Amino acid sequence: MTTDPAADLPFYYGSISRSDAEEYLKLAGMADGLFLLRQCLRSLGGYVLSVVWNVEFHHYSVEKQLIGTYCIAGGKSHCGPAELCEFYSKDPDGLVCTLRKPCLRSPDVPIKAGVFDNLRENMLREYVRQAWNLEGEAMEQAVISQAPQLEKLIATTAHEKMTWYHGKIPRQEGERRLYSGAQPDGKFLIRDREESGTFALSLMYGKTAYHYQILHDKSGKYSMPEGTKFDTVWQLVEYLKMKPDGLVTVLREPCVNNTTKQTPVLPSGRRQRTNGYTPPPGVPLGGSKEVTASPPTERQMLPMDCNEFANPYHDPNDLKKFFINRDQLMIDEVELGSGNFGCVKKGVFKTQKGHTDVAIKVLKSENEKLVKEEMMREAEIMHQLSNPYIVRMLGLCEAESLMLVMEMAAAGPLNKFLSTKKDTVTMENIVGLMHQVSMGMKYLEEKNFVHRDLAARNVLLVNQQFAKISDFGLSKALGADDSYYKARTAGKWPLKWYAPECMNFHKFSSKSDVWSFGITMWEAFSYGGKPYKKMKGPEVISFIANGNRMECPPGCPDRMYALMKDCWTYKHEDRPGFVKVEERMRAFHYSISNKTLPEGTADIAEPLK
């Protein structure tokens, strides 16, 4: 996993040392303007640009600014490392010369991972584990889909979970804690300073306590007076373990804060779980007492904040309970949607663990056996799936009519949501949602299921940041040795979403779902637009067969349109699968998240030509 926006650049070497950089430049011939890019160890997300001029090396550090832009000290800001290098290839703007010739990394030299890369990734996992009490697959899915948001959150709150962090305590209390127990040199703690909202470091040396203020500059960086600047307090502490940077000694042993030991730290601004969710004993919700010392900053809701993220079956034995008792269900009159099968109603599902809002697909009572069997098949498929980005079935209830009980996706179908909320949904938001859909589809592909009705109308939103795939009415489980499902007869099919092989040979596979994913992307990026305008199904078939494809929706990034077109590769053998599709969605999602872009430059981080 990489969130490094320079990873695509052919002249990027990762975390190599200055002397290694010089070695590569020597090997490449030392021409004037020869350059490469490497990772900076001091700043989270920063780089160093190494350039040759006049048989000498010049190293410029590229800072990542708090709002997500990049700049060389004194120079202009750029939205990514690629743009920055492109700029300096045209204009020296203070450098010794323009960047003329990239020192290309040979294919057998991998990008070198940095110390912070591993640290950062473990940090993400640990954070998700503690903050949302997630494990295993749910934790992995959270980390993959939310990495950019989590990194930002960690940069501002990560210190809160460290053993050496003592929260808001007076200087005297800090001293008392340092003096209690053994007093080795280098024993330290970090505390909030009472008056100013900044941090202080208390440090033991020669049985004496020293106190230092940690500076926090305008750009948000932390440092000791005149020392090296860091993006986070925990990085500063890690650094001070290696270099004293003006202190009496390096930091050695943390003075452990016992008062927070048992308390998982929750991200600031986290909301209480709703829907009557009662936490298991010992798991406090909504921020621990220690953390509230710093005022919670209101942040965007993440998928993990919702009940619908983790599998609701805490007890794996519950999975066997396919049927739900009628008395566990309260059915509302509110209709969420309808179809020819009947309608979907809002309801509440009652268990010992509390009440959960649910959506209930109710079969029309006059319906025939055939329709009933169809719903049973849909339930059987859903029963086998559990992924945060797929609507989970909670069970089936046979009472006044047959009812399929599902997790609630309260914000409704994606196409409707986007067409009514054009002004508030950004392109980055859509990319994040479509990345989640690609993760759900990758899971489906891995489990050997074909959806056969992937469309924006069947992507439901829990909220603006959280999408789930739904409607498994046409879905099929493939046999272990099958790569496609063959329909005997054509039914009421969503032709505009179907790949050529579906129409021509009735063959359905994950590759034909990829085609539908492309159409769904098109719908999303055109804010709920209707694909192929007023064309009729059969017209679309010949339109495609003649080599035509839909145009790029206005404002849709080039890289997203390029992916759509690859999803619409005529031959399914040449079409990418969901592993590839998810990878490309992820790379683009990471490359644009947390950045403020000037209008019209949405498509970024393209390697230099």
Binding site listing for ATP: 336-344, 361
H-run or E-run covering 338: strand 329-339
What is the token pair recorded at 568? Answer: 């619409």
141 binds, among Mg ion, ligand ADP, none (CB under 5 to 8 A by kind): none
* Of positions 148, 347, 395, 413, contacts ligand ADP by CB under 6 A: 413
Taking CB atoms, the residue at the shortest distance from ligand ADP is 339
CB-nearer residue toward ligand ADP: 50 or 415: 415
* 523 near ligand ADP (CB under 6 A): no
* 471 near Mg ion (CB under 5 A): yes
Query: Given 453, 471, 513, 603, which residue is catalytic?
Result: 453
CB-nearer residue toward ligand ADP: 435 or 457: 457
Beta-carbon contacts of 562 under 8 Å, excluding residues fewer than 6 positions away, are none
499 binds, among ligand ADP, Mg ion, none (CB under 5 to 8 A by kind): none
391 binds, among Mg ion, ligand ADP, none (CB under 5 to 8 A by kind): ligand ADP
* 604 near ligand ADP (CB under 6 A): no
CB-nearer residue toward ligand ADP: 44 or 343: 343
397 binds, among ligand ADP, Mg ion, none (CB under 5 to 8 A by kind): none
CB-nearer residue toward Mg ion: 445 or 471: 471
Report how far apart, in Å, the C-alpha atoms of 92 and of each of 84, 97, 98, 116, 507 are.
11, 5, 4, 31, 57
Pair 343, 335: CB distance under 8 Å: yes
Pair 170, 194: CB distance under 8 Å: yes
In the window 432-471, what residues touch ligand ADP (CB under 6 A)? 457-458, 460, 470-471
What is the token pair recorded at 604? Answer: 């970024």
CB-nearer residue toward ligand ADP: 117 or 407: 407
* Of positions 458, 465, 509, 520, contacts Mg ion by CB under 5 A: 458
* 286 near ligand ADP (CB under 6 A): no
The stretch among 177-185, 218-226, 403-411, 499-507 that binds ligand ADP (CB under 6 A) is 403-411
Distance CA 188, CA 233 (A): 14
CB of 421 to ligand ADP, least distance (A): 15
The residue count for binding Mg ion (CB under 5 A) is 2
Residue 36 has phi, psi (to 5 degrees) of -145, 165
Show the site string, 40-59: x = touches ligand ADP by CB under 6 A, - = not. --------------------
Distance CA 519, CA 564 (A): 7
4 in active site: no
Q: Where are the alpha helices (DSSP H) in 384-426?
A: 414-420
* 409 near ligand ADP (CB under 6 A): yes
In the window 290-319, what residues touch Mg ion (CB under 5 A)? none
User: In 3-state terms, what secondary structure has residue 409?
Assistant: coil
Long-range contact set of residues 211-215: C-beta below 8 Å, sequence gap at least 24: 211/171, 211/174, 212/247, 214/190
CB-nearer residue toward ligand ADP: 190 or 408: 408
* 339 near ligand ADP (CB under 6 A): yes
In the window 372-391, what residues touch ligand ADP (CB under 6 A)? 391
CB of 69 to ligand ADP, least distance (A): 39
Taking CB atoms, the residue at the shortest distance from Mg ion is 471
Annotated binding site: 336-344, 361
413 binds, among ligand ADP, Mg ion, none (CB under 5 to 8 A by kind): ligand ADP
Residue 402 has phi, psi (to 5 degrees) of -80, 130
* 337 near ligand ADP (CB under 6 A): yes
Beta-carbon contacts of 22 under 8 Å, excluding residues fewer than 6 positions away, are 50, 57
Distance CA 237, CA 203 (A): 12
Nearest in space to 515 (alpha carbons), one of 500, 499, 539, 535: 499
CB of 384 to ligand ADP, least distance (A): 17
CB of 144 to Mg ion, least distance (A): 27
DSSP 110-171: PPBPPHHHHHHHHHHHHHHHHHH---HHHHHHHHHHHHHHHHHHHHHHGGGGSTTEEEE--H
CB-nearer residue toward ligand ADP: 153 or 460: 460
220 binds, among ligand ADP, Mg ion, none (CB under 5 to 8 A by kind): none
Residues in the chain: 609
As a whole number of Å, the CA-based R_g of the chain is 28
Distance CA 398, CA 327 (A): 11
Nearest in space to 137 (alpha carbons), one of 448, 389, 503: 389
Pair 480, 494: CB distance under 8 Å: no
Binding stretches for ligand ADP (CB under 6 A) = 336-337, 339, 341, 344, 359, 391, 406-409, 412-413, 457-458, 460, 470-471, 473
Binding site for Mg ion (CB under 5 A): 458, 471
Active site residues: 453
